[in-house]
Structure 1
Amino acid sequence: MFTYEVSPVFILMEEVLLKKMQSIVGWSEDEGDGIFCPGGSMSNLYSILLARYHFYPKVKTSGMRALPQLAIFTSEHSHYSVKKSAAALGLGSDNVVTVRCDERGKMIPAELSSAILTAQEKGLVPFYVSATAGTTVYGAVDPLEAIADVCSAHSLWMHVDAAWGGGLLMSARHRMKLQGIQRACSVTWNPHKLMGVPLQCSAFLVRKRGLLKECNGSGADYLFQQDKPYDVSYDTGDKSIQCGRHVDAFKLWLMWKAKGSQGFGAQVNKCLENAEYLYDLLQRRPGFQLVFQDKPEHCNVCFWYTPPSVCCLPHGPDRDKRLHQVAPQIKARMMEKGSVMIGYQPLGAKVNFFRCVLSNPATQHEDIDFLLDEIVKLGHDL
């Protein structure tokens, strides 16, 4: 996918999908642009690339000498691709300021405001904030409206990394969790996550129409001739860092035709219902403890399993050391047996805990029951 003449049907499919997704985000018909990217990390990189060009267009021709020392802001629970993108674009990962979150994993807007002022005092120039809608570990959604207010007050580019949480927009029951996303300058949304589209399928949406072409276009006249017998705006290859692109849009188009928006909404609702079912089980079942007591906001449910030999220990460093070893050992036994497999990780001062992500709508309550039974069976003797 780079010119209309090479793949006319797929070019039109991509355009229709992008307009539909922009509308769902909450942008009007006369604004918005986008492109499908090879994953959320690349979509996030596009957002920083465009934000930098928006404020400092000379960087395209003059390079880094056209820039002051820029600062990027993102939550301490955000995806690692923000720092990786800053490194790749020459901005430096040290200039990515991580903003403190509350106990639920949400960025604290007051801390963002404070971090911006501190960066300015150090001589840095803030230009970009990445809010997260669906963090990797907790599934937390940052307070987008409040973050939008901060960005507006300081004239900063607001990006929303909704790679994981974007699918919530398909549910009438859950889309209000992303209230404020319509105020973003750009959005990452991965249908290959919550919506179940096969890898890879990531959409990068930008509110300012034409900015993708201005930032990335090279105008190669051997490919993007301006005197073609059709509307050359359909030659979307010049909006991309790539030239030829995989036809990722087709998978989403076909699935959307099959399921419909209501089907996607029902699928999302089922995933969150399963997460709530697991949450309810964990509250009642001995030997299990939730990482935080609040009802899950997304499909992520985080918990510890405490074997009998650890349960009896007094709280303190020795108990934490023993508990830290439990999840990795159970995970190893899961893989050796081949029965189930879920992730684990530590986070901050919290020792290793299980992170169960219920993103498959085919999962039934008996599968979730089996998961907890299997954890007990594999870990009771540790």
Structure 2
Amino acid sequence: MPLSAAPTPGAEVTRTGPALDEAPWQLQILSCSRKQKASAVPGTGPCPAVMAEVDLLDVPSLDKAAGEEFLQEAFGVILEEAVRRGTDVTEKVCDWKEPEDLRHLLDLELRGHGEPQPQVLQRCRDIIRYSVKTCHPRFFNQLFSGLDYHALAGRMITETLNTSQYTYEIAPVFVLMEEVVLQKLRELVGWGSGDGIFCPGGSISNMYAMNVARYHRFPDCKRRGLWALPRLAVFTSEECHYSIQKGAAFLGIGTDNVYLVGADERGKMIPAELEKQISQAQIEGAVPFFVSVTCGTTVLGAFDPLMAVADVCERHGLWFHVDAAWGGSVLLSQKHRHLLDGIERANSVAWNPHKMLTTGLQCSAFLLRDTSGLLHRCHSAGATYLFQPDKFYNVAWDTGDKTVQCGRKVDCLKLWLLWKAVGTEGLEKRVDRAFACTRYLAEEIKKREGFQLVMEPEFINLCFWFVPPSLRGKQAQANYWERLGKVAPVIKERMMKAGSMLVGYQPHGSKANFFRQIVTSPLVTRQDLDFFLDEIERLGRDL
């Protein structure tokens, strides 16, 4: 019987359990005609009347109409609570609750029975209410923030289609789309050709770079493992992202073999120190193979000197990787792309559009200059149930074996749809506007008593101290920096509990805790920037 067909004629059917808008219902047969009983063929099983339930294959396990009704209402909740209220400056950035209180409010326990639709919708409202609104114009806490409506539509389509981007067979649109987007990103880097893949985050992109570089130098390691390798040495700045150390640990290289190169007072790698570290590693019996530089360090927003480091890598025959997860989007700006001069000489690049371009998490590209198929050779396993060589189409479009993943989420659509909507010119304006916001704040800080820049911003990382009245003019006191270091945590606690805004802080080397403010949201206005400084002052004036 077709799945959409009705039960056997003559059988009395009823719905039991909760209503359609509550939990799923089951069909039960209460009676069967004598004719059916009499005509039952011996040996074919009992009459349906003696069965407790209709065969589960005879009816769908979901109520399509009720599901669509729920989705319509749920989308309304998302639009009103997360999008409209989530971007309204008169609303809170967060509604802070202690963990145990929040656990009680949300009732996170999973039970055997389902809940009615109104209650599930209320769950959706509660989840949104007590979550941090990263799309809020006064959320300055991370390297990502803001909301792009076109990218959000792309994310919703991605989730709805729910495909895996490993073969053209099941993701034809997105396989083609990913290659177009990657090609455009490579062109911005300065490469006329190359390879790449979207990865689940910049940390994985950096790890891919290290793995591909190792395979390029020692191809036997894929088959023979660490037994085929000498002691290897990785070089990166002391200001690097921690994913470099994590990648070395994960790949079996070891964190002891990550040589941290000294940086100057602005956080930029010193090329002469890189030369020294390479010599030191060789003296210690290690084999240098990989150098990772950073374009946009996490705290200070520093850009390493790419040209000078590229020269060092060429002299020593080392793989040159650029971690531009944070700063890569500056390539879109004619005004500021000079910060990445020399990136075209890299062997590989990591770039996260989900940061400055507000595509939404996550959207991370790993780009290669190589055109020989190195990425595929390094990671491929050739699973024949996915990558059959005798398919009727060109299997070169089955790109999934370039990654260590099997199932792979579509991360290109949100960026592609955003790019289609605003164009390269629109993306450039967003990048330039983020720089303008940072410059405005830096100049305002210089005018305000009690605010002190850690350094002039080169990028959009604005680092500063707020010195409360009780500490002003007391820099000479022995405990000044210790006391100042306690200011930022208290202000952060107060702003979170008030829900007025969110900004990060951290110590850095010998420097006491300071704020790091980031603006990437296109919804931020001058009024929000002024509010930010006023609120810092209001929350800290009595400290």
Moved over 6 A (4+): none
- 1:248 paired residue number: 411
Could you say which residue in structure 2 is the equivalent of 1:72?
Answer: 234
TM-score for both structures, normalised by structure 1: 0.98
Specify the alignment match of 1:227 in structure 2.
Answer: 390
Superimposed CA distance per residue, residues 107-138 of structure 1 (whole angstroms, 9 cap, x where no aligned partner): 01111111111111111111000000000001
Alignment pair present for 1:120 and 2:282: yes
Counterpart of 2:485 in 1: which secondary structure? Answer: helix
Matched residue, 1:61: 223
Asked if residue 23 in structure 1 is aligned to residue 184 in structure 2, the reply is no
Shift of 1:336: 0.6
Return the match for 1:369 from 505, 522, 530: 530
Q: Does 1:184 align with 2:346?
A: yes
Equivalent of 2:421 in 237, 258, 266: 258
The residue aligned with 1:104 is 266
The one-letter code matched in structure 2 to 1:157 is W
- Comparing 309-318 with 9-18, which one deviates more in the overlay? 309-318
Greater shift after overlay, 71-80 or 214-223? Answer: 214-223
Match of 1:260, as an amino acid? G
The structural deviation recorded for 1:341 is: 1.0
> What is the CA deviation profile of residues 273-296 of structure 1, one whole-angstrom value per residue up to 9, with x for unaligned ones?
00000111111211011101x3x2
Q: 1:270 aligns with which of 424, 427, 433?
A: 433
- What is the deviation of 1:102? 0.6
**1:130-151 C-alpha deviation (Å, 9 max, x unpaired):** 0000000011110001110010
Do the aligned residues in 2 keep the contact of 1:2 with 1:244 (CA within 8 Å)? yes
Distance across 2 between alignment mates of 1:249 and 1:317:
54
1:13 aligns with 2:177: yes
Quote the residue 2:103 is aligned against: none
Q: Distance in 2 between matches of 1:167 and 1:204?
A: 14
Matched, 1:42 2:204: yes
Query: CA shift at 1:315, angstroms?
Result: 2.5
1:85 is the counterpart of 2:216: no
Cα distance, 1:218 vs. partner?
Answer: 1.0
Q: Using the alignment, how far apart are the partners of 1:310 and 1:168 within structure 2?
A: 38
Paired residue secondary structure (1:196)? coil
Superposed displacement of residue 361, structure 1:
2.4
Structure 2 stretches lacking a partner, 5+ long: 1-164
* In 2, Cα distance between equivalents of 1:26 and 1:86: 28
Quote the offset at 1:312 in angstroms.
3.6
Shift of 1:189: 0.4
Letter in 1 for 2:365: A
What TM-score comes out, normalization by structure 2 length? 0.69
Contact 1:278 1:368 in 2 (8 A): yes
Contact between 1:268 and 1:361, CA under 8 Å: does it hold in 2?
A: no
Distance between the aligned counterparts of 2:477 and 2:225, measured in 1? 53
SS of residue in 2 equivalent to 1:342? strand
Are 1:146 and 2:308 counterparts?
yes
Of 349, 358, 362 in structure 2, the residue corresponding to residue 200 of structure 1 is 362
CA 1:116/1:308 → structure 2, altered by over 3 Å: closer, same or farther?
same
2: CA distance between counterparts of 1:151 and 1:176? 21
Residue equivalent to 2:214: 52
Partner of 1:310: 471
State the SS of the aligned residue for 1:79. coil
Q: Which runs of 5+ in 1 are unaligned?
A: none
Q: Which amino acid aligns with 1:22?
A: R
One-letter code of the match for 2:434?
A: C
In structure 2, give the amino acid aligned to 1:366: Q
Deviation, structure 1 residue 316: 4.5
- Structure 1 CA distance for aligned equivalents of residues 213 and 477 of structure 2: 46
Q: CA RMSD for the aligned pairs?
A: 0.9
Number of the residue aligned with 1:162: 324
Q: Distance in 2 between matches of 1:287 and 1:8?
A: 57
2:501 aligned with 1:340? yes
Structure 1 residue 58: deviation in Å? 0.3
CA distance in 1, matches of 2:477, 2:344: 45
* Pairing partner for 1:3 from 130, 147, 167: 167
Greater C-alpha radius of gyration: 2
Letter in 1 for 2:229: L
Report the 3-state secondary structure (helix = DSSP H, G, I; strand = E; otherwise coil) of the residue aligned with 1:237.
Answer: helix
- 3-state DSSP of counterpart to 2:404: coil
**Corresponding residue for residue 320 of structure 1:** 481
Aligned partner of 1:214 in structure 2 is 377
Measure the CA separation in 2 of the matches of 1:364 and 1:71.
46
What displacement does 1:359 show? 1.4
1:189-246, Cα deviation, whole Å (9 max, x unpaired): 0000011111110000011121110000111222111121211111011111001100
Identity, % of aligned positions? 57
Are the aligned partners of 1:131 and 1:160 in contact in 2 as well (CA < 8 Å)?
A: yes
Letter in 2 for 1:313: K
Residue 257 of structure 1: how far off its partner (Å): 0.4
